[in-house]
Amino acid sequence: MNDSKLNDLKNKKVKFIVCEILYDEIKEKLPSGWDVIKYEKRLHEKSDSLRETLQKEIDISQDYDVIILGYALCGKSVEGLVSPNTYLIIPKCDDCIAILLGSVEEYKKQFSKEPGTYYLTRGYIGETDNPIIGGFAEIRDKYDEATWKWIIKEMLKNYKRLAYINTGNYESEKWRKLAMEEAIKLDLVFEEIEGTNNYFEKLLNSDWDDDFLILEPGSKIKLEMFMNYGC
């Protein structure tokens, strides 16, 4: 896309469709002219469900000039999404963790350091005392205690580290403590990692450089668009 067209889009009517985890980081910084809709993080549990939800929201937002997705590839959940009449913009990264850390490069660095890492922020922790296994509470009653403990052990067998990402967007002491307590419960090494707002600032300031996909109307999001860019 040429620079003149990109600059033109920056002054148009924008719809921002965002995951509540990322929304929690930027809700105080959103441009006043953007219309925003956020979706619960639990939709990530099923890629097809998230994809269907996002496509429906895109379809009813065709009177906007630009639709921005506050998501990453997210387990291929955005693959196949298309905006028939409106430009579609999305961060070019595999995982939202790259956005929270500020860049794909920093995500790669952390991945190389310890691939078996579970990341938490205030948005991931939410209102639960068990942010990692809390999402499986609905199936807890189906198993006896011994079987449940085995399931949890199997779920986490490849994880060694729990990292709390401190983005500086809110008072972190409470959330750091909760993340540390979770690491102790699950026998994981705890580490606090400094995040940055680099990715967020580019997104919110319409500085959509090579870290973003800019799709023209009618163009589908394809998996290969993310290749050789993420982890």
pLDDT tens readout for residues 160-191: 999 999 999 999 999 999 999 999 988 999 99
Which phi-psi region, left, alpha or beta, contains residue 228 (left: φ > 0; alpha: ψ -120 to 50)? left
Identify the residue whose tokens are 């500020």: 102
Mean pLDDT confidence for 7-17? 81
**Within 13 Å, how many C-alpha atoms sit on residue 50's CB side?**
25
Do 121 and 164 touch, CB atoms closer than 8 A? yes
User: Please, which pLDDT band fits residue 47 given cuts at 50, 70 and 90?
Assistant: confident
| 3-state SS, residue 191 | strand
Q: Where are the domains of the chain?
A: 3-94+197-226, 104-194
| Coil, helix or strand at residue 80 | coil
CA nearest neighbour of 43 among 25, 69, 65, 68: 69
Weakest-pLDDT range from 65-74, 91-100, 144-153: 144-153
CA pseudo-torsion sign 33, 124, 174, 190: negative
Q: Tell me the pLDDT of the chain averaged across its residues.
A: 89
Residue 1 is predicted with a pLDDT of 56
Question: What's the confidence (pLDDT) of residue 136?
Answer: 64
What's this model's pTM, rounded to 2 decimal places?
A: 0.88
Convert the pLDDT of each residue in 191-209 to its tens digit. 999 999 999 999 999 999 9
Q: What is the pLDDT of residue 230?
A: 47
Q: How many residues does the chain have?
A: 231
pLDDT at residue 5 greater than cutoff 60: no
161-166: strand order across its sheet: 117-120, 161-166, 189-194
Q: Which of 27-36, 54-63, 200-209 has the highest mean pLDDT?
A: 54-63
Examine the pLDDT at 87 and tell me if it is beyond 50.
yes
The CATH architecture of the domain made up of 3-94+197-226 is 3-Layer(aba) Sandwich (3.40)
Q: Is the pLDDT of residue 96 over 50?
A: yes
Q: How confident is the model at residue 38 (pLDDT cuts 50, 70, 90)?
A: very high
Beta-bridge mates of residue 19:
39
Confidence of residue 6 (pLDDT cuts 50, 70, 90): low
pLDDT at residue 225 tops 70: yes
Per-residue pLDDT reduced to its tens digit, 112-145: 999 999 999 999 888 666 677 666 666 677 888 8
Beta strands 87-91; 212-215: pairing state: antiparallel
